[in-house]
Amino acid sequence: MKKLSLLFLSLFVLLFSFDSNAQKFDKKINELSSNYESDIIELRHWFHQNAELSNREFKTAERIANELRKIGLKPQTGIAKTGVVAVLKGGKPGPVVALRADIDGLPVKERADLPWKSEMIGEYNGENVPVMHACGHDTHTAILLGTAKILYELKDKIPGTIKFIFQPAEEGAPSGEEGGAELMVKEGVLTNPDVDAIFGLHIWSQIGAGQVFVRPKGIMAAVNEFRIDIEGVQTHGSTPWTGIDPIVTASQMINSIQTIVSRSMPLTEAAAVVTIGSIHGGVRSNIIPESLYMLGTIRTLDEGMKKIVLKRLEEIVQNVAEANNAKAKLKYMVSYPITFNDPELYEKMLPSLKRINGSSNVNSMNAITGAEDFSFFQEKVPGMYFFIGGAKKGTDPAKAAPHHTPDFYVDDSAMITGLKSMTTLALDYLNKN
């Protein structure tokens, strides 16, 4: 009984000690976040104005490395082609936590009228294209640099090690190349020192600034991108019976593919999406082409449902092609696992998000069918991924332009939420463990 009492007393002392330390850290985090807010906004503007495509983030990586050196860290560059990694060792022994930001832009022409709008040009699929941070990765990068700055100031009091991961190619590596989180994991970014847990965030244009959204288990969908090549027989458009029409075959295939979700999925259990987003074939109105190809994406939140979708897609592609005397080939290109928040880590760290942001600002959410290659990190170590609001206070978030569009915009006022959240999660995790 005496031993049990001592155990409870020890636990009480530990919890009281953690709460006291957390409150001291919170005061310092709030103070330093306010001090550095203008600095990270300035950095965000630079990254936005100098947006670069996946695996081509050369200027971006150079600026990140220079900023880390200014802080006092020693960055490693060239990780997974253009990634940057830095390690901060605290003043006391303890576990290792990783914080991740993605750094690449998209082939989108910006329409927002900003003094720091992007005018960058890059090469995508062999063509010169405009480049824009149409998904907010510029804010993620600046937030993580700000987080590194704050944590460096507190390093003597940190019980453990923090690894800052600036990841390229989240939007997908160029055709024929490796990249992103999958390549970073393959190159050992979660080792030396071995990472015990990882945190990441994403800004969201259609949530009000200051708000945080999170959930346990699956938060974003698995993705399987695919290409379908259809081969027919070319002929004159006036005599279609003398050829084999890949366009008609494709149209029948698309209609049948849409029944996979509507007729084969138990949608009360989880969402699923199959989309054909691109068709390429033909050059003239009066020529039935010899071939065409289509590009599509699959999004699933349940592993069993994913297997059914893949099986049905294969059956439809082959059977519809055969019914039209055509040949078809299905090829998978990019595949991401489900972005899965470790339930135990979520329960342990949710109070940290609520404490630093205010409980009323931290919201539960449904899983979404967007996808994130942060999931490759979560396959190896427990991870937690969350969203912060990007819509300016006083505006209607529902009217904000969605991600990956020319009018996409997130307000600078949103960034301090990310800064405080990432810093607090890192410190609390190390202190609790």
Residue 263 belongs to a domain with what CATH number? Answer: 3.30.70.360
Task: Kindly indicate the confidence band of residue 24, based on its pLDDT and cuts at 50, 70 and 90.
Answer: confident
3 falls within a domain: no
> Please, which residues have CB within 8 angstroms of residue 428's CB and are 6 or more apart in sequence?
22, 25, 349, 352
Among residues 336, 361, 388, the one where a domain terminates is 336
Residue 1 lies in a domain: no
Element of type H or E holding 262: helix 259-264
Q: Count the alpha carbons within 13 Å of 122 in the hemisphere toward its beta carbon.
A: 24
Q: How far apart, in Å, do the first and last CA atoms of the chain sit?
A: 27
Partners of 162 in beta bridges: 88, 97
**Whether residue 146 is found in the same domain as residue 236:** no
Instruction: Point out the domain boundary residue: 293, 312, 336.
Output: 336
Count of alpha carbons within 13 angstroms of residue 420, beta-carbon side: 29
Q: Are residues 166 and 263 in the same domain?
A: no
Structure token pair of residue 391: 């819509």
CB 392 within 8 A of CB 356: no
- Whole-angstrom Cα distance, residue 174 to residue 131? 14
Tell me, yes or no, whether 105 and 248 share the same domain. no
Close Cβ partners of 148 (under 8 Å, ≥ 6 residues apart): 68, 71, 73, 86, 88, 164
Question: Last residue of a domain, which of 336, 361, 394?
Answer: 336
Whether 342 and 421 share a structural domain: yes
- Mark whether 146 and 173 lie in a shared domain: yes
Shared domain for 326 and 345, answered yes or no, is: no
CATH number at residue 143: 3.40.630.10
For 279-324, how does the pLDDT look when each residue is reduced to its tens digit (9 = 90+)?
A: 999 999 999 999 999 999 999 999 999 999 999 999 999 999 999 9
* 2 assigned to some structural domain: no
Copy the structure tokens of residue 257: 């593919």
| Residue pLDDT, tens place only, 89-135 | 999 999 999 999 999 999 999 998 999 999 999 999 899 999 999 99
Instruction: Count structural domains, the chain.
Output: 2
Residue 142 in any domain: the answer is: yes
104 is catalytic: yes
Select which of 52, 170, 171, 411 is catalytic.
170
Residues 172 and 249 placed together within one structural domain of the fold? no
Residue % of the chain over a pLDDT of 90: 92
Higher pLDDT, 57 or 18: 57
Mean pLDDT of the chain: 95
Q: Kindly state whether residue 317 falls inside one of the protein's structural domains.
A: yes
Catalytic residue, chosen from 26, 52, 67, 104, is 104
pLDDT of residue 11 exceeding 70: no
pLDDT at 16 over 60: no
Residue 76 and residue 179 in one domain: yes
Q: What residues make up the domain containing 141?
A: 24-220+338-432
Q: Is residue 13 part of a domain?
A: no
Q: Do 285 and 311 have their domain in common? A: yes
The pTM of the full predicted model, rounded to 2 decimals, is 0.89
DSSP assignment of 41-89 equals: HHHHHHHHHT---TT--HHHHHHHHHHHHHHT---EEEETTTEEEEEEE
Q: Which residues pair with 332 in a beta bridge?
A: 226
Q: Is 148 exposed, middle or buried (0-12, 13-18, 19+ CB in 10 A)?
A: buried
In 3D, which of 430, 392, 419 has the Cα closest to residue 43?
Answer: 419
* 12 is a domain residue: no
